[in-house]
Amino acid sequence: MRDTLTAPPARTQVPIRHLAGPDALDRALIEQLLERAASFEHGSEMKAAPLLGRLLATVFYEPSTRTRFSFEAAMHRLGGQVLSAENASRASSAAKGESLEDAIQVIGGYADAIVLRHPDVGAAERAARVAPVAVINAGDGRGHHPTQALLDLYTIKKELGRLDHLRVGLAGDLRNGRTVRSLALLLSRFPGNELVLISPRALRMGEDVIGALNQAQQGMQETSDLGGAIADLDVLYQTRIQAERFESPEEYERLRSVYVVSAELMRRLPEHAILMHPLPRREEIDPLVDADPRAAYFRQARNGLWVRMAVLDWAVAH
């Protein structure tokens, strides 16, 4: 009897497009993704359903609201479907000791792309090395958050009309804040920008990012004085002091309210400038500031949908 089983036809090998960190984003790709995001926002691509029949796995080992929901909403709006593990550290085989690498290889057999959030720095790069499909970093501990940085650039471009020759203040927990680490590197791709790194010494930006900024000849200064730095900024990017990243509650309590943006402080911010925050916030921005038209953080969060649509379209549709 002849064996009637035959091998499936070979697929054409297409390079996998991972977005594991900011190093994957040069200026040309950033501009391409932001232009595509704008086309989605303006509705010119909404009926195309470019990801019809495709499946996205969102695998989150840490909590998320904006990132997970916006990625899942983006996939649905592009015509695709979603498999979601919103508590993968406890509700997946990770609780049984399965390695990240094994989990990614298995999940990659079910989905066309994986969006990964993980508490370990470098987890997305580890996943990308073994994944049979695209891996998109949705935050790796204190490491990076490249799609947040992209939506931050998109917000700045929409609000101020440009991404160059800006004075941008990054304030708060720069040591642990993956959003500001990625944003600082992406801003260095554009000419004439100056970064003002505002933090207490215990929370200053990591030497890896400082070194990369120096290598890129990025204009930069460090200060602990928020009030003194705010008067000539185009963008103030405020961040949360992250309790979950501190080794001791005492250290967190000492630093938690080091910078608070109040209505009084906003009087020092130029009228043309904007206030941003990656959210969630605690006490670092007074809710009274929400009514100020320069407070862009909720508009910023909404922009995540269009940018993540562009990222998924780039990573999966080719």
If pLDDT is split at 50, 70 and 90, which confidence band does 11 have? very low
Tokens coding 40: 């989605």
Cis peptide before 280 (omega within 30 of 0): yes
280, pLDDT greater than 80: yes
Q: What positions carry a catalytic annotation?
A: 66-67, 96, 117, 145
Q: What is the DSSP letter of 278?
A: -
Pairing of strands 113-118, 274-276: unpaired
pLDDT digits (tens, 9 = 90+) for 211-223: 999 999 999 999 9
254, pLDDT greater than 70: no
248, pLDDT greater than 80: no
60, burial (CB in 10 Å: exposed 0-12, middle 13-18, buried 19+): buried
Q: What is the reported pLDDT for 219?
A: 94
Q: What is the reported pLDDT for 297?
A: 98
Q: What global pTM score does this model have?
A: 0.91
**8 Å CB contact between 193 and 166:** yes
Residue that has been written with the tokens 């730095």 in this structure? 229
Name every residue whose Cβ is closer than 8 Å to that of residue 218 and which is 6 or more positions away in sequence.
Answer: 184, 187, 188, 193, 195
Give the residue, 3 or 31, on which the prediction is more confident: 31
pLDDT digits (tens, 9 = 90+) for 97-146: 679 999 999 999 999 999 999 999 999 999 999 999 999 999 999 999 99
What average pLDDT does the segment 147-171 reach?
98
Q: What is the reported pLDDT for 96?
A: 57
Q: Say which range, 37-51, 134-148, 206-220, 244-258, has the weakest mean pLDDT.
A: 244-258
Q: What is the reported pLDDT for 45?
A: 55
Q: Which residues of 220-230 are buried (b: 16+ CB within 10 A; e: fewer)?
A: beeebebeebb
**8 Å CB contact between 48 and 77:** no
Q: Residues 21, 22, 26, 28: is their CA dihedral positive or negative?
A: positive
CA 93 vs. chain centroid, Å, equals: 26
Name every residue whose Cβ is closer than 8 Å to that of residue 210 and which is 6 or more positions away in sequence.
Answer: 220
Residue among 57, 196, 185, 170 at smallest CA distance from 113: 57
Name every residue whose Cβ is closer than 8 Å to that of residue 168 and which is 6 or more positions away in sequence.
Answer: 156, 187, 193, 194, 195, 196, 233, 234, 235, 237
Residues 166 and 191: their CA atoms lie apart, in Å, by: 9
Percent of the chain with pLDDT strictly greater than 70:
86
Residue 48 CB neighbours (<10 A): 14
Q: What is the reported pLDDT for 317?
A: 84
Q: What is the reported pLDDT for 1?
A: 47
224, pLDDT greater than 90: yes
**pLDDT averaged over the chain?**
90
178, pLDDT greater than 70: yes
Tokens coding 289: 């500031």
